[in-house]
Structure 1
Amino acid sequence: MQDRTYTEDAEPGDEATVAGWVHEVRDLGGIAFLILRDATGKIQIKFEKDEMDDDLVETGLGVSRESVVTVTGTVEEEPRAPTGVEVVPESVEVIAPADPELPLDPSGKVDAELSTRLDNRTLDLRKDEVQAIFEIRSEVLRATREQFREVGCTEITTPKIVATGTEGGTELFPITYFGREAFMNQSPQLFKQLMAGSNLERVFEIGPIFRAEEHNTPRHLNEATSIDFEGAFCDHHDAMDVVEGVVKAAYEAVAENCAEELETLGIADDFSVPEGEFPRLSYEEAIERINATGELDEQLVWGDDLPTEGEKALGADVGGHYFITDWPSEIKPFYIMDDDEDEELSTGFDLMHPRMELVSGGQREHRFEHLVEGFEQQGLDPDEFEYYTKMFKYGMPPHAGFGLGGERLLMTMLDLDNIREAVLFPRDRQRLSP
């Protein structure tokens, strides 16, 4: 819209046209106010009934909340107004009237259930708190991309429709692809490894992944955003250094550039950038510390996966981000390389927040024969993955990487109760629309 003035830019003495949504109407008798909201904030429109045209007053005060309007008038200083200025209107045009019966209250005065909010996400995003989450999400992704470039990465985009699952198993979404069976990709894992074997060497991707998880919890999604890295001539220690730098860069960017959003969410005083190196605990040390907390009914033994209760107990004990390293080989995927000195150990690692796992990573098996053996040990047919395995015959360097859950990073950073708060249009077992 030409000659439009955003509310934050309206200055006393301006002749301005502002456009946005009707946040609320306050009728105080002889004087009334329409509060107009746009992406930059809110501004007060003042109607002095006895001094204005009746049609103008009727239009301005008769419009329903959340209708889209444009207002043209003079900007005047008014210290009592929310932004210190107000507009005295010369014209009000209703561009798109809103139904008076709204499915939720964008002003936030009346709470709505999460399911109702997600069913009406466009309205929900008109709330300052919800908008703040996605402004922060945008900043996190910007900072993440910048940090990857700082460590010499090239951004890539890999297929989301594939002939075979990344890790096999039941967590695959099958689709029909021109009469053939195909799947939505669980991870860019195999493709990013192939790129590490190219002359690009270090690559990253930020994109969707799809998992037919049976879990229906506040921290699981069936379509999520994965932040992935793969680096040639890197080992698992190098990969941990990269992901630690990425997480810290995201926090630093939010602290520096999203102060207003943190205030809106009410967490500015509690938000802090992680300091120092993240502790690196071996799997064996992790289960010993979990057992020592006494929080589990049964003691963990070597080879057990860590239950949610155990992760929370260890997270409370550590008190910040930390890595778990040296996982048993048998519980890590086929592409994770075993430790050179102890085949029972893998080079796999997880990055944990005190609330949950954020990252899975490790050094990859780059030797063709060992890779094929790993497939067979996990009951997978190497022939189904020939497009992947054959490239390991042509000079595949040692490489390592990770996958970081974008929504989990945001959820833990902002202390959100449900991961769906960090997704515009979540996909879970029940939700396929909108």
Structure 2
Amino acid sequence: MQAVRRFLSSNDFIDVTTPKVVGVATEGGTALFPITYFEREAFLNQSPQLFKQILMSAGFDRVFEIGPIFRAEEHDTRKHLNEATSIDIEASFADHNDVMNILEQLIAYIYHELTIRAEDALSTLNLTLDVIELPFERLKYDEAVQIASAGGEEIEWGDDLTTAAEIIIGEAIVESTGRGHYFIVDWPTKIKPFYAMPYENKPSVCKAFDLMHRDMELSSGAQRIHSTELLTQRILEQGLDIGGFESYLNAFKYGMPPHSGWGLGTERLLMTMLKLDNIRDTVLFPRDRKRLTP
């Protein structure tokens, strides 16, 4: 985390803290932990997304946060936790390519810093970190679907990638590039969050991306919608309650610059760096659907 803070601070990002108890779903959907907040229902926050964007309208050009996120997903796998630590950034006057560049530079910096500063620990573990080469491959969603289909996993255009598809794609990337990290870009708008910016000349595709390591999603991000009208339309299209987003939408009415950002899961990053088989090995006190103590 020290390396992350050094890198982001040196690139003019301001460290912020946002609420973890909220009154509306950040990402939509049902993966929420409800709690009683005095006389009202509230939720544990899925991500700092809405708050990051509000800060863009308040003149904070670049912000980052390292903090907990909560997902009430019922997955019980080697790569899922219900409480995790996320590294999030948001940057004004930046598009999706700009923040992808920042993300891959951060990954390279972390690997480099740990190789130097944790040399003794890595030696004890008999572990050598990969050498990161930039830039990472940019693979379009359409190309990813074709690779999956060629490998025997049929994906209908507009559907999310299955675990089997991600394995096939990851193996193909490693075989063709010799590297584990790559981006999947230009996703169907309908399967990405409401705030992802569609392409002006092709609204069915948006300026969203996932950073992958082999078959593991490490990060998701996008250029965000900065138009109040389009944002309202997308919220309604996804069947969300527009009333719950009133304070969020108000920030856009007073002037919102073009902006982009991403969130990066620290546990998954560590899991891939240290070549661990289970994400629980990256956490002192993991929280999954079966574990609540200690």
Q: Considering the TM-score relative to the shorter chain, is it more than 0.5?
A: yes
* Cα offset, 1:301, TM superposition: 2.2
- Is the aligned partner of 1:306 residue 2:161? yes
Distance (Å, rounded) in 2 between the aligned partners of 1:372 and 1:355 = 34
- Is the aligned partner of 1:317 residue 2:158? no
Give the match for residue 370 of structure 1: 230
Contact residue 382 and residue 389 of structure 1 kept, 8 A: no
TM-score under structure 1 normalisation? 0.66
Give the match for residue 142 of structure 2: 284
Contact residue 227 and residue 405 of structure 1 kept, 8 A: yes
* Cα offset, 1:388, TM superposition: 0.3
SS at match of 1:168: coil
Write the deviation string for residues 252-304 of structure 1: whole angstroms up to 9, x where unpaired. 11111111111222212xx222112101011001111222233x3xx222112
* Cα offset, 1:168, TM superposition: 2.5
- Is the aligned partner of 1:399 residue 2:254? no
- Count the aligned residue pairs: 289
User: Given the alignment, which residue of 132, 136, 155 partners 1:274?
Assistant: 132
Write the deviation string for residues 43-78 of structure 1: whole angstroms up to 9, x where unpaired. xxxxxxxxxxxxxxxxxxxxxxxxxxxxxxxxxxxx
SS at match of 2:130: coil
SS at match of 1:347: strand
User: Given the alignment, which residue of 103, 108, 118 partners 1:248?
Assistant: 108
Aligned-partner residue type, residue 281 of structure 1: L
Aligned-partner residue type, residue 309 of structure 1: A
Once the two structures are superposed, the pairs formed by residues 12-27 of structure 1 within 5 Å of their partners are none
Contact residue 28 and residue 193 of structure 2 kept, 8 A: no
Write the deviation string for residues 303-342 of structure 1: whole angstroms up to 9, x where unpaired. 1211111111111111220001100011111011101121
**Identical columns (%):** 54
CA separation of 1:347 and 1:248: change in aligned 2, threshold 3 A = same
User: Given the alignment, which residue of 63, 79, 88 partners 1:228?
Assistant: 88
Give the match for residue 184 of structure 1: 44
Distance (Å, rounded) in 2 between the aligned partners of 1:384 and 1:312 = 38
Q: Which has the larger radius of gyration?
A: 1
Distance (Å, rounded) in 1 between the aligned partners of 2:93 and 2:161 = 30
SS at match of 1:343: strand
Once the two structures are superposed, the pairs formed by residues 83-162 of structure 1 within 5 Å of their partners are 141-162=1-22
SS at match of 2:187: coil
Contact residue 255 and residue 273 of structure 1 kept, 8 A: no
Distance (Å, rounded) in 1 between the aligned partners of 2:248 and 2:214 = 36
* Cα offset, 1:150, TM superposition: 2.1
Aligned-partner residue type, residue 179 of structure 1: E
Aligned-partner residue type, residue 67 of structure 2: G
Give the match for residue 30 of structure 1: none
Once the two structures are superposed, the pairs formed by residues 72-83 of structure 1 within 5 Å of their partners are none
* Cα offset, 1:430, TM superposition: 0.8
How big is the alpha-carbon RMSD for the aligned residues of Structure 1 and Structure 2?
Answer: 1.0
Unmatched 5+ stretches in structure 2: 175-179
SS at match of 1:384: helix
* Cα offset, 1:142, TM superposition: 1.0
Structure 1 consecutive aligned stretches of length 4 or more whose deviation exceeds 4 Å: none
Unmatched 5+ stretches in structure 1: 1-140
Distance (Å, rounded) in 1 between the aligned partners of 2:167 and 2:132 = 18
Distance (Å, rounded) in 1 between the aligned partners of 2:41 and 2:249 = 21
Contact residue 232 and residue 242 of structure 2 kept, 8 A: yes
Write the deviation string for residues 148-190 of structure 1: whole angstroms up to 9, x where unpaired. 1122100000000001110232110011111211000000000
Give the match for residue 433 of structure 1: 293
Aligned-partner residue type, residue 291 of structure 1: S
Write the deviation string for residues 98-133 of structure 1: whole angstroms up to 9, x where unpaired. xxxxxxxxxxxxxxxxxxxxxxxxxxxxxxxxxxxx
Contact residue 255 and residue 272 of structure 1 kept, 8 A: no
* Cα offset, 1:199, TM superposition: 1.5
Aligned-partner residue type, residue 419 of structure 1: I
Aligned-partner residue type, residue 160 of structure 1: K
Greater relative contact order (Cα 8 A, min sep 6): structure 1 or 2?
2
